[in-house]
Amino acid sequence: MALQPQTKPAVQPQTRYLKGDLVLFRNIERFWLGLPGHTFIGKVERSWTNVHNGKRLYDLLELNVNGNRARAGIDPDYMRPLPAADAMHDIDTAPLSETDTGAMTPAAVAWLRQHLTQHSSTLPTQR
């Protein structure tokens, strides 16, 4: 009987977050119990090391429309970075040559209108 090669599960690289970084956080207990409100956007306020197990933990400010809420002792295994490039993708790839603004997302149209107001009527160069 031949031995099957063992596969290791994918491991997320250890990410260190800095104050002000935006992250996506999942409350794992709420997630596994199927409860609503298990995932939110947070802003890193500080990081610290747990004296009992030596693990780095984070304090976040949960950002939402009803007001921000402090969350302490967040495990980075359940956090993911929210890169600026992802948030700005629709603006960076807006089809500026299109005459129909319906082809652009609302964020791209808002940015374009603001740019045109601030910078007379010159369009930015297409990337």
pLDDT in tens, the chain (127 residues): 566 666 665 655 568 999 999 999 999 999 999 999 899 999 999 999 999 999 999 999 999 888 899 999 999 999 999 998 988 887 788 776 666 667 777 777 777 777 777 766 565 565 5
Sheet holding 39-49, edge to edge: 69-74, 56-63, 39-49, 22-26, 79-81
